């Protein structure tokens, strides 16, 4: 097996053999080689480093695609909430147009017709509109957007909590698989030792060759079970790595503690007490917020029953190149021509914009009278949505209480099974040692030995299974009670 650092050096050397045809400086090549070697070595070290439960949960929360999608929903809710606050601001618009006409045209600045000429006119305007009263629609819409933001945040927290529980379950499954592999390897090793003893006894003519063949068959079966245990371990790591968004599950390893202290909390606490503490969980908080959102939706729908009052104002001006301005002298008197008629000069753009400026302000009131009962229907629909949200909250609370009760029952049963398994393992170990001693002095058959060993392995496997089952159930109960799921027996691992 080639080490990662040696592999990195070989790859770097191969890289430079290929690049020798290019004019590259020696210092640059040495720097790139060091970069490749350090990168591959660091990557291999990171992949082979054992991970604790807290590290797995933190990594999953940071890299999970489902969590990132939920974070995008939170960003959308923030934008919507901010936009609802901007709804109080007035609407401002600026517009303008330019028009060129030929023939008999109407001058928009003088409203006089001009014959057989080409005229270009320009107008510009700015308007401002603000709603003074709209049945408190914007106020309720703002509160609704704020509640939606809080509900979306609760959904994000729920997604993180669900991910933490799933990672914990997968982590414990990996630990169970690791111990199961050790147990299968121990069984295979024990049978191989028995095979060697049986061979010696066959040579000493105290055992028959049939006894040796029987033990060898048991060794082959134990090796098959060990391979199956390895496969289950790979599946457990694959499931865990998929939750963590880690690609290479073959090099991934969990931190296996030297010993695991079982939770000592009293699991016989009432389900009502745990459920009361679990009311702070985001799934219940989210359901409560959605009830408040439904109430605000009713208020928004009712706003359409009220009249609306709005204020608007505008400013505009126009310009036409067909318009002329009377020429004035220093005393502001018209300058006359030879026919004693006033003379005209070009009306400058800046002067027209100033002289043609106009402003307006208006106040409008709109009273709803009849719209085919659309408003009333929307109010009824929003009330139905409110009742649905209340039922969803009630169902969430009942489901939480049911889950807590089931968890407490399952944890209690798992603890009883674990304690019973401890007694079974002790008895099976004593029985196996007794049969092994009798086997060594040729007073027990191969069948007796196989039964004793199988009973011992089965008892140890049940002990491991009930141990991790109890740990998981108790950790979920602790989580519902307000404690972190990654603390306790997994707080410190090597």
**Residue 109: pLDDT band by 50, 70, 90 thresholds?**
low
Tens-digit pLDDT profile for residues 354-399? 888 999 999 999 999 998 999 999 999 999 999 999 999 999 999 9
**Angle, to 10 degrees, between the axis of helix 209-244 and the axis of helix 446-480?**
20
In this predicted structure, the answer to whether residue 334 has a pLDDT above a threshold of 90 is no
DSSP, res 342: B
Q: Are 306 and 298 in contact (CB under 8 A)?
A: no
Q: What mean pLDDT comes out for the span 458-473?
A: 92
Q: Where is mean pLDDT largest: 72-81, 116-125, 257-266?
A: 72-81
In this predicted structure, the answer to whether residue 455 has a pLDDT above a threshold of 50 is yes
Instruction: Tell me the whole-structure pTM to 2 decimals.
Output: 0.78
In this predicted structure, the answer to whether residue 492 has a pLDDT above a threshold of 60 is no
Cα distances (angstroms) measured from residue 89 to each of 97, 128, 135, 465: 27, 10, 16, 63
The pLDDT of residue 18 is 39
The pLDDT of residue 335 is 77
The sign of the dihedral angle between the CA atoms of 424, 427, 430, 435 is: negative
**Residue 344: pLDDT band by 50, 70, 90 thresholds?**
confident
In this predicted structure, the answer to whether residue 400 has a pLDDT above a threshold of 70 is yes
User: Residue 316: helix, strand or coil by DSSP?
Assistant: strand
Of 246-250, 336-340, 377-381, minimum mean pLDDT range: 336-340
Partners of 96 in the beta sheet?
124
Tens-digit pLDDT profile for residues 279-321? 888 989 999 999 999 999 999 999 999 999 999 999 999 988 8
In this predicted structure, the answer to whether residue 259 has a pLDDT above a threshold of 70 is no
In this predicted structure, the answer to whether residue 5 has a pLDDT above a threshold of 80 is no
Distinct helix (H) and strand (E) counts, the chain: 11, 6
**Residue 15: pLDDT band by 50, 70, 90 thresholds?**
very low
DSSP, res 263: P
CA distance 458 to 427: 12
DSSP per residue over 467-479, as a string?
Answer: HHHHHHHHHHHHH
CA distance 403 to 273: 13
DSSP per residue over 2-60, as a string?
Answer: --HHHHHHHHHHHHHHHGGGS---HHHHHHHHHHHHHHHHHHHHHHHS-B-HHHHHHHH
């Amino acid at each position: 097996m080639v080490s990662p650092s040696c592999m990195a050096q070989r790859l770097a050397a191969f890289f430079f053999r290929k690049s020798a045809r290019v004019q590259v400086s020696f210092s640059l090549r040495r720097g790139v080689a060091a970069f490749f070697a350090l990168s591959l070595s660091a990557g291999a070290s990171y992949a082979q480093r054992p991970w604790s439960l807290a590290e797995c949960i933190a990594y999953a929360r940071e890299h999970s695609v489902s969590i990132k999608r939920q974070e995008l929903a939170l960003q959308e809710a923030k934008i919507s909430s901010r936009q609802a606050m901007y709804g109080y601001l007035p609407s401002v618009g600026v517009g303008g147009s330019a028009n060129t006409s030929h023939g008999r045209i109407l001058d928009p600045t003088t409203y006089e017709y001009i014959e057989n000429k080409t005229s270009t006119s320009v107008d510009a305007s700015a308007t401002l509109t603000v709603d003074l009263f709209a049945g408190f629609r914007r106020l309720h819409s703002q509160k609704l957007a704020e509640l939606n933001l809080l509900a979306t945040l609760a959904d994000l927290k729920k997604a993180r909590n669900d991910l933490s529980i799933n990672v914990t379950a997968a982590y414990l499954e990996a630990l169970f698989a690791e111990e199961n592999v050790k147990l299968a390897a121990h069984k295979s090793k024990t049978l191989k030792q028995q095979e060697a003893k049986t061979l010696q006894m066959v040579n000493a003519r105290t055992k028959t060759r049939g006894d040796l063949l029987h033990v060898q068959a048991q060794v082959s079966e134990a090796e098959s079970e060990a391979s199956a245990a390895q496969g289950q371990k790979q599946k457990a790591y694959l499931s865990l790595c998929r939750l963590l968004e880690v690609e290479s599950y073959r090099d991934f390893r969990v931190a296996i503690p030297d010993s695991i202290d079982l939770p000592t909390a009293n699991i016989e606490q009432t389900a009502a007490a745990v459920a009361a503490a679990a009311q702070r969980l985001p799934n219940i908080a989210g359901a409560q917020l959605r009830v408040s959102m439904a109430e605000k939706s009713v208020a928004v729908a009712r706003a359409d029953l009220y009249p609306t009052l709005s204020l608007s104002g505008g400013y505009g001006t126009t310009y036409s190149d067909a318009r002329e301005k009377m020429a004035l002298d220093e005393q502001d008197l018209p300058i006359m021509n030879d026919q004693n008629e006033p003379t005209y000069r070009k009306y400058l753009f800046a002067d027209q914009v100033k002289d043609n400026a106009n402003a307006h302000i208006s106040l409008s009131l709109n009273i709803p009278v009849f719209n085919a009962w659309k408003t009333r229907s929307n109010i009824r629909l929003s009330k139905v949505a409110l009742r649905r949200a209340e039922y969803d909250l009630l169902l969430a609370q009942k489901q939480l209480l049911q889950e807590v009760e089931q968890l407490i029952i399952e944890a209690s049963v798992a603890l009883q099974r674990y304690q019973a398994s401890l007694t079974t393992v002790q008895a099976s170990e004593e029985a196996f040692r007794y049969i092994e001693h009798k086997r060594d002095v040729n007073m027990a058959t191969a069948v007796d030995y196989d039964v004793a060993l199988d009973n011992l392995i089965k008892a140890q496997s049940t002990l491991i299974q009930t141990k991790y089952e109890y740990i998981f159930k108790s950790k979920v109960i602790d989580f519902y009670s307000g404690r972190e799921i990654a603390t306790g027996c997994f707080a410190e691992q090597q």
